[in-house]
Chains A and B, each alone.
Chain A
Amino acid sequence: MTPPNILTRRSFLRRSALFAGAGAAAGTLRDMKLMNSLMAAEPPTGYKALVCVFMAGGNDANNWIVPTDTTTYNEYAGIRGNLALPSSSLLPLRTGPSGSDPAYNYQGRTYGFHPGCARLQALFGEKKLAIVQNVGTLVRPTTKAQYNSGLAAYRPPQLFSHSDQVTQWQTSIPDAPPATGWGGRIADIYDSVANPTGKISMSVSLNGANTLQIGNLVSQYHVSTAGAVVMNSSGSGGGLMGSTGARQKAIQSIVDLNHANLQRQAYANVLDSAIFTGDLLNNNIAATDDPTDAPAGGYTTAQQAAGHAAGQTFKWNTGLTGIYNPALTGFTDGLGGFPNTGLGIQLKMIARLIAANGPSAFDMKRQIFFCSAGGFDTHTAQVDGAGFTNQPANAGGTHYGLMTQISEAMFAFQRAMEQLDGANPAKPYSTGVTAFTASDFSRTFPTNSQGSDHGWGSHHIIVGGAVDGGKMVGKLPAFAINGPDDTGTGRWLPTFSVDEHTATLAKWYGLGQSDIASVLPNIGRFNSTFGGGYLNFMKPA
Chain B
Amino acid sequence: MRKKYWSLVLLLIVALVAWWWGRPKTANEAASAPIPTPPTTQKVNQTKAAGPAAPTLITSPTQLQAEPLAASLPSQFVRIEAPPPPPVVVPGSYVADTKPNPVAQEMEEISLNIRNFSLRFGGNPVGTNAEIIKALSGGNEAHVNYLPASKRINGNGELMDAWGTPYFFHANSATELEVRSAGPDRKLYTSDDLTAR
Q: Mark A365-403, 1 if CB is under 8 A from B, else 0.
A: 000000000000001110000000000000000000000
Q: Which residues of A contact B124 (CB under 8 A)?
A: 158, 161
Q: Which of A157, A158, A159 has the most B CB atoms < 10 Å from its CB? A: A158
Interface hit among B6-14, B34-42, B165-173? B165-173
Cα separation A159 to B135 with both chains bound (whole Å)? 14
With both beta carbons as reference points, the residue of chain B lying nearest to A381 in the complex is identified as B189
Q: Which residues of A contact B168 (CB under 8 A)?
A: 379, 453
For residue B188, CB closer than 8 A to chain A, the reply is yes
Q: Is B187 a contact partner of A450 (Cβ separation < 8 A)? A: yes
For residue B174, CB closer than 8 A to chain A, the reply is yes
Cα separation A167 to B170 with both chains bound (whole Å)? 17
Interface hit among B84-92, B108-116, B126-134? B126-134
Q: Which residues of A contact B164 (CB under 8 A)?
A: none
Interface residue SS majority, chain A: loop
Q: Known contacts being A488-B127, A488-B128, A489-B128, is A162 close to B173, with CB within 8 Å?
A: yes
Cα separation A287 to B187 with both chains bound (whole Å)? 53
A-B contacts, 20 listed (Cβ < 8 Å): A157-B123, A158-B126, A158-B171, A159-B126, A160-B126, A160-B127, A161-B172, A162-B173, A163-B172, A163-B173, A163-B174, A164-B173, A164-B174, A379-B189, A380-B189, A448-B188, A449-B187, A453-B128, A488-B128, A489-B128
With both beta carbons as reference points, the residue of chain B lying nearest to A380 in the complex is identified as B189
Q: Which residues of A contact B172 (CB under 8 A)?
A: 161-163
Cα separation A448 to B173 with both chains bound (whole Å)? 21
Q: Which residues of B contact A488 (CB under 8 A)?
A: 127-128, 130-131
Cα separation A381 to B188 with both chains bound (whole Å)? 11
Q: Is B173 a contact partner of A158 (Cβ separation < 8 A)? A: yes
CB neighbors of A among B92-137 (8 A): 123-124, 126-128, 130-131
Cα separation A380 to B185 with both chains bound (whole Å)? 15
Q: On chain A, which size bracket covers the interface?
A: 10 to 19
Q: Which residues in B have some Cβ–Cβ distance to A below 8 Å?
A: 123-124, 126-128, 130-131, 168, 170-174, 177, 187-189
Cα separation A488 to B131 with both chains bound (whole Å)? 9
Cα separation A176 to B130 with both chains bound (whole Å)? 27
Q: Which residues in A have some Cβ–Cβ distance to B below 8 Å?
A: 157-164, 379-381, 448-450, 453-454, 488-489
Q: Known contacts being A159-B126, A488-B131, is A454 close to B188, with CB within 8 Å?
A: no
**In the complex, how many angstroms separate the beta carbon of B96 from the nearest chain A beta carbon?**
30
Cα separation A487 to B94 with both chains bound (whole Å)? 42
A157-B174, A159-B126, A160-B171 known; 20 new pairs, CB 8 Å cut-off, are A157-B123, A158-B126, A158-B171, A160-B126, A161-B124, A161-B126, A161-B171, A161-B172, A161-B173, A162-B171, A163-B172, A163-B173, A163-B174, A164-B173, A379-B170, A379-B188, A379-B189, A381-B189, A448-B188, A449-B188
Q: Is A158 a contact partner of B123 (Cβ separation < 8 A)? A: yes
Cα separation A80 to B106 with both chains bound (whole Å)? 32
10 nearest interchain CB pairs? A161-B171, A380-B189, A163-B173, A158-B174, A159-B126, A160-B171, A160-B126, A162-B172, A489-B128, A164-B174
Cα separation A161 to B173 with both chains bound (whole Å)? 5
